[in-house]
Amino acid sequence: MEFKRNILITGGAGFIGSHVVRLFVTKYPDYRIVNLDKLTYAGNLANLKDVEDKPNYEFVKADICDFDEVKNIISRYDIDGIIHLAAESHVDRSIRDPFTFARTNVMGTLSLLQAAKQEWEASASGYEGKRFYHISTDEVYGALQFDGSFFTETTKYDPHSPYSASKAGSDHFVRAFHDTYGMPTLVTNCSNNYGPYQFPEKLIPLFINNIRHNKPLPVYGKGENVRDWLYVVDHARAIDIIFHKGKTAETYNIGGFNEWKNIDLIKVIIKTVDRLLGRPEGASEHLITYVTDRAGHDLRYAIDSTKLKNELGWEPSLQFEEGIEKTVRWYLDNQAWLDQVTSGAYQSYYDKMYGGR
């Protein structure tokens, strides 16, 4: 079958990546979508059961740090577009193990860039029709005060954790490959995502699960840190629009215009879970347990998405109240998925579906 485009999506079995893969596979049947994922603890092929048999979908288990394998994949599938989401992303893990974050996020991105550069420069069309789209985070900008300011595309980088430092490093490499070699690149920096299929070490799925099972809800410091929250399907929509219509070498910030103090967000989650479980709203607030604040914990993040809205017409489709309701319902209805991803059963699923290759 001839495909109009051959798109490589890295980290496509993860939280955000699986939503992007699903969107592209279903929306663009004339594109071949190749999902490259190492299947670490946060990657789960069960996230994509609904599209795994589609004729335009391929899965490849590989490590983005394996330069020769990545180069082979780009060549084998005649890849003309890369959407790079594969990354280590949990700040607490980065504090404990910064080397892994530097390896995956910096060296893995460099591996992809160099492999794409060599393959695309050697092709008859060169860089024409090619695109390398790198997904980053708002955390590279550091922290904001409670002064009404926002991160914009020109905000100076000021990372405070090994995670955000590693993502900042990868961003710089992507831009350098455009400036040095002329590679057609894009970078986006997004706020906190929430929604279905998020690995339950992250705040919202962790707390939904803990409330359900009457386990403690650990809150850093006084819970006064502020984050901007975006429903993951809206992020996938933004990625689609930017990949197809964004200007080469540009940066676009993607945010929800939806700031919440951690403690206020947690109380909304508690009330929603309690109500959907038939408990009195707020009955589980006694589970809140304040713990020592995280080292280097940024006070506030807030993204200004005005450029993306004005240039490409994107804005969030869901109000937070609707998004959190959908999210809580999904996790409550998918306890089996939660049990699976926390038990390592996804590896058995992979072996069954793909023969362990």
pLDDT, residue 344, reads 56
Q: Is residue 61 situated within a structural domain?
A: yes
Q: Residue 99: its pLDDT value, please? A: 98
Q: Confirm whether 264 is domain-assigned.
A: no
Residue 279 domain-assigned (yes or no): no
Whether residue 263 lies inside any domain: the answer is no
Looking at the structure of the chain, the number of domains it has is 1
- Is pLDDT above 60 for 189? yes
Q: What is the CA radius of gyration of the chain?
A: 20
Distant-in-sequence, close-in-space partners of 209: CB < 8 Å, separation ≥ 6: 200, 215, 331, 338
Selected residue with higher pLDDT from 200 and 74 = 74
Give the separation between CA 319 and CA 317, rounded to whole angstroms.
Answer: 7
Instruction: Specify the higher pLDDT residue, 205 or 42.
Output: 205
Highest mean pLDDT among 1-5, 37-41, 218-222, 236-240: 236-240
**Residue-number span of the structural domain to which 66 is assigned:** 5-195+228-258+296-320
| Mean pLDDT, residues 254-273 | 95
Mean pLDDT across the stretch 50-56? 97
- At how many degrees (to 10) do helices 320-333 and 203-212 cross? 50
Q: What is the pLDDT of residues 131-158, one digit of tens each?
A: 999 999 999 999 998 888 999 999 999 9
The string over 4-36, giving b where at least 16 C-beta atoms fall within 10 Å of a residue's C-beta and e elsewhere, is ebbbbbbbbbbbbbbbbbbbbbeebeebbbbbb
- Inform me whether the pLDDT recorded for 77 exceeds 80: yes
Q: Tell me if 47 is assigned to some domain.
A: yes
Asked whether residue 187 is assigned to any structural domain, the reply reads yes
Find tokens 């080397």 and name the residue: 99
pTM assigned to the model: 0.93
What mean pLDDT is reported for the chain? 93
Q: Hey, which residues are catalytic here?
A: 138-139, 163
Residue 92 and residue 83: Cα distance in Å, rounded?
Answer: 26
- Domain at 26, CATH number: 3.40.50.720
To the nearest 10°, the Cα dihedral for 11, 13, 18, 24?
A: 70
Average pLDDT over residues 61-66: 98
Q: Is residue 345 included in any domain, yes or no?
A: no
**pLDDT of the residue at 281:** 95
Residue 169 makes CB contacts below 8 A (sequence gap 6+) with 102, 105, 106
Which pLDDT value is given to residue 215? Answer: 94
Residue 110 within any structural domain of the chain: yes
Task: Specify whether the CB–CB gap between 86 and 61 falls below 8 A.
Answer: no
